[in-house]
Amino acid sequence: MKIDLANEEALVLFDWLYQNSENEKYSVDDAVKCVFWSMKCLLERELVEPCYENYAEIITKAKETVKKKYGV
C-alpha cells in the first residue's frame, strides 16, 4: 500500500505521532501502538524538518497550511 501525503500533512501527522506515541491517555491495543511506531519511524526517515532549530515555527505553518487546504 502506498499513501501519498503533502509534506505539510506528513509533518502534522509525524508531530501528532511523536507527541502522542507514549501518551497513556490513549488506551490502544498493542497492535495499534506498533502501527503508530512504524508510521512514526517511516515519517522520521523521510522528514528533515524535525531536526531544524525552528521546528516549532515549521510545524505551526504546516498546520495552518493543512487547515486552509481542508477549509477548517
Would residue 2 count as lying in a domain? no
Q: Tell me how far apart the alpha carbons of residues 70 and 72 are, in angstroms, rounded to a whole number.
A: 6
Residue 38 included in any domain: yes
The more confident residue out of 65 and 26 is 65
CA 18 to chain centre: 7
Task: Give the C-alpha separation, 25 to 69, whole Å.
Answer: 29
Range of the domain at 29: 7-70
- What's the domain count of the chain? 1
d(CA 21, CA 34): 10
Domain contains 49: yes
State the pTM of this model: 0.87
Q: Give residue-wise pLDDT tens across range 9-56.
A: 999 999 999 988 776 666 778 898 889 899 999 999 999 999 999 999
